[in-house]
Structures are given as C-alpha cells and as structure tokens.
Amino acid sequence: MIFIQTKLKSVYIIELEPHYDERGSFSRVWCKRELEQYGINTNVVQCNISSNQKKGTIRGMHYQTEPYYETKLIRCIRGALYDVIIDLREDSKTYGKWIGIELSEENGKALYIPEGFAHGFQTLEEDTYAFYQVTEFYTPDAERGIRWNDPAFNIDWPIKENIIISKKDKSWGDFKL
C-alpha cells in the first residue's frame, strides 16, 4: 500500500500497490501492522456498503459526536464517486477546511478519515458502490450532519444539477464555525 498524506493532518489517500503476473494482479488493501505505522486506527467494528443507482447522488455530510467519534476507511468498489471530508477538529490548524478526492473502482484508491471529520460523497457514475470500514458502531443519538451546500464550507461538488439527496441530508441547519 502507498500512503499519501493530504493537506489535512492525519488524513491519508491509500493507493494500491498491485503485483502482476499471467493471472492478473494481487493487491493488499488491509494490513494492521502497516496501517498502524501511520497512526491509523485499525479497531474496525463495522463494515458497510452503500449502493447508489443514480449519478449525482449525494450522501452526507455525516459525523458522530463524542464519545462516539468514528474513523473511516472508504473505498469505491463499483463506479466512481467524489469523496469529501471537512475537518471539524476545533484545535486543528485546518479546522473548517475540506478536501475532495475521486475514488473509483478503476483507480482503487481509499481515503482514511480520522476522528473529528464530517464525511460525504457524490456519485459520478450510475450504479456506484462504496465500502466503509468504521471504528465505532452507528449511534443514532450521536449522529450529526452538515448540509451539502452549507455556505460555511462552499463545497465545490462536481455535479451541480439533478442532484439526488435524502430529505434528512437536505434538512441539516447552517453550521457555525
């Protein structure tokens, strides 16, 4: 695995390092020892798959409050998506900043998201699937969200029209930085 530090501290893009032969390729996507060398929380308690039939679908921006903070490792296993995270760590130099990265079946990249970030994505293709490894159980009472178009962040989503988004995700109030 190849670890690329982003401009947000402790956030990594993890690229595959495939080994090829006459059969095809083999890539490691999980190695507790290697992940822990980068300070990555490997205490996965839940794995989830999100299926999204329509291009332009937005899920997020979601996070959980203390003591139910979660870290996530996100990978697109079919199609393509634009993955976005927002730094909500008040003591961070990048508090309130966001990044977006394309994850796709083709590029094989994953995004590691530590505690203290809101997370969401927009599908770039029809029939897109995301696979999440999460370090905390889903706790509905601790769930919070940021509206996809909140003016505090001005996220530049790649698809601007015909967006599909849940009623809940549309209803999050303005975030106060």
> Across the strands, what pairs with 171?
none
Contacts of 146 (CB under 8 A, 6+ apart): 60, 61, 63, 86, 118, 120, 152, 153, 172, 175
> Across the strands, what pairs with 143?
64
* Catalytic residue of the set 62, 63, 69, 119: 62
* Catalytic residue of the set 68, 95, 129, 132: 132
119 is catalytic: no
Kindly report the CA angle at 118 between 168 and 153, in degrees rounded to 5?
90
Distance (Å, whole) CA 99 – CA 7: 8
Signed CA dihedral, 61, 81, 163, 46: sign only: negative
Distance (Å, whole) CA 43 – CA 155: 30
Task: Read off the amino acid at residue 18.
Answer: P
Task: Read off the amino acid at residue 139.
Answer: T
Using DSSP, state whether 170 is helix, strand or coil: helix
132 is catalytic: yes
Residues recognised as catalytic: 62, 132
